[in-house]
């Protein structure tokens, strides 16, 4: 996942020039992603990982570096799978007509 995200960032914002992008480097501090870039990043995450990023989640804590994005995706996927399991449990536990 880290590699996929890093590749997206390098391809889209560093024009394919790898340079010195570290997984912890802040996009804000290095200035490599502007507000249009964040829109592109969100679309990439939503289509690649099948998640929905809410307005409240559009914060640097979730999206400001390669590693923060990876942690955020893992958290979203874990919540999503937990919700699916609970839904499945509730469905199977319901009395049949």
Partner 1 sequence: MKPHGAVSSNLLRLDPEVETERITSWIRETVFHALRRKGAVIAVSGGIDSSVVAYLCARALGNERIQLLFMPEADSSPHSLQLGRMVADALNAKSVLEDISPILDGAGCYQRRDDSIRLVVPEYGSEYKCKIVLPGLLDAGRYAIFSVVVQSPDGKTTKVRLTPDAYLGIVAATNFKQRTRKMMEYYYADLLQYAVAGTPNLLEYDQGFFVKNGDGAADFKPIAHLYKSQVYQLAAYLGVPEDILRRPPTTDTYTLEQSQEEFYFTLPYEQMDLCLYGKDHGISTSDLARASGMTEDLIERAYHMIEAKRKVAKYLHAPSLTMD
Residues forming the site for partner 1 (CB under 8 A): 28, 31, 34-36, 38-40, 42-43, 55-56, 58-60, 63
Nearer Cβ to partner 1 (5/82):
5
Minimum distance of partner 1 from residue 42's CB (angstroms): 8
By the 8 A CB rule, do 27 and 58 touch? Answer: no
**Rounded CA gap, 32 and 21, in Å?**
10
Minimum distance of partner 1 from residue 81's CB (angstroms): 25
Minimum distance of partner 1 from residue 13's CB (angstroms): 12
């Amino acid at each position: 996942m880290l590699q996929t995200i890093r590749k997206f960032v390098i391809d889209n914002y560093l024009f394919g020039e790898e340079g010195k992008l570290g997984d912890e480097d802040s996009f804000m501090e290095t200035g490599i992603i502007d507000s249009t870039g964040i829109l592109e990043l969100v679309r990439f995450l939503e289509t690649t990982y099948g998640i929905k990023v809410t307005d409240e989640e559009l914060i640097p804590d979730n999206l400001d570096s390669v590693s923060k994005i990876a942690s955020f995706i893992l958290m979203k996927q874990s919540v999503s799978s937990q919700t699916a399991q609970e839904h499945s449990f509730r469905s199977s536990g319901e009395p049949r007509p």
